[in-house]
Amino acid sequence: MLNKKITDLLNSQINKEFYSSYLYLDMSNYYYDNSLNGFGNWFGIQTQEEYAHAMLFVKYMQNNGEKVALEAIKKPDIVYAGFKQALDEAYKHELYISQSINDIYALAYELKDFKTMQFLDWFVKEQGEEEKNVDELCKRFDLFGTDARGLYLIDTELASRVFTAPSLVI
């Protein structure tokens, strides 16, 4: 059994991870709709990763005998003003999720819940990587993406991304 405050935050994190998956699917669709299939693919992989993250939280709750309370997933409502905006929004979203994971970690630390801290270690590292990946993509877009040929090359490169399941085993 886990502390009630921890289970509340974990439940809410499950919803945030499913929302992340939904948000990235919306971004993926936006790029596919605009024939940027590489960007569409890249965000499609993000969608799968976020779903996998949600399921890791579900599994952790179940492994600890806790009931998962699924909440409604918010509808993504961003109206994209241009190809860069989805990237900026994705970066902002990753910072928000990192903060959310850090908040759970801080509570686990306060409660001396070492098991949850150890579980979250992987997510802290993963968030660092995700922030870096999106930030790099934003910077490369600024450098090359405003030129049609540069945009084509980035799109072609992003088309090769494939999904790899999270390395965390719980």
Binding site for ligand OFO (CB under 6 A): 17, 20, 50, 53, 94, 97, 126-127, 130
**Token duo for residue 46:** 């993000």
Determine the Cα–Cα distance for residues 111 and 90; give it in Å rounded to an integer.
32
Task: Give whichever of 11 and 127 is closer to ligand OFO, judged by the CB atom.
Answer: 127
What minimum distance in Å lies between the beta carbon of 24 and ligand OFO? Answer: 9
Cβ neighbours for 89, distance < 8 A, ≥ 6 positions apart: 27, 78
Question: What is the CA angle 57-90-15, rounded to 5?
Answer: 25
Task: Give whichever of 52 and 153 is closer to ligand OFO, judged by the CB atom.
Answer: 52
Kindly list the distances between the CA atom of residue 134 and the CA atoms of 42, 119, 131, in Å, as whole numbers in the listed order: 11, 24, 5
Task: Give whichever of 122 and 144 is closer to ligand OFO, judged by the CB atom.
Answer: 122
Residue 33, exposed/middle/buried by CB under 10 A (0-12, 13-18, 19+)?
exposed
Task: Give whichever of 26 and 126 is closer to ligand OFO, judged by the CB atom.
Answer: 126
What minimum distance in Å lies between the beta carbon of 111 and ligand OFO? Answer: 23
What minimum distance in Å lies between the beta carbon of 17 and ligand OFO? Answer: 5
What minimum distance in Å lies between the beta carbon of 13 and ligand OFO? Answer: 9
Kindly list the distances between the CA atom of residue 165 and the CA atoms of 22, 45, 52, 102, in Å, as whole numbers in the listed order: 18, 10, 7, 23
Task: Give whichever of 2 and 90 is closer to ligand OFO, judged by the CB atom.
Answer: 90
What minimum distance in Å lies between the beta carbon of 152 and ligand OFO? Answer: 27
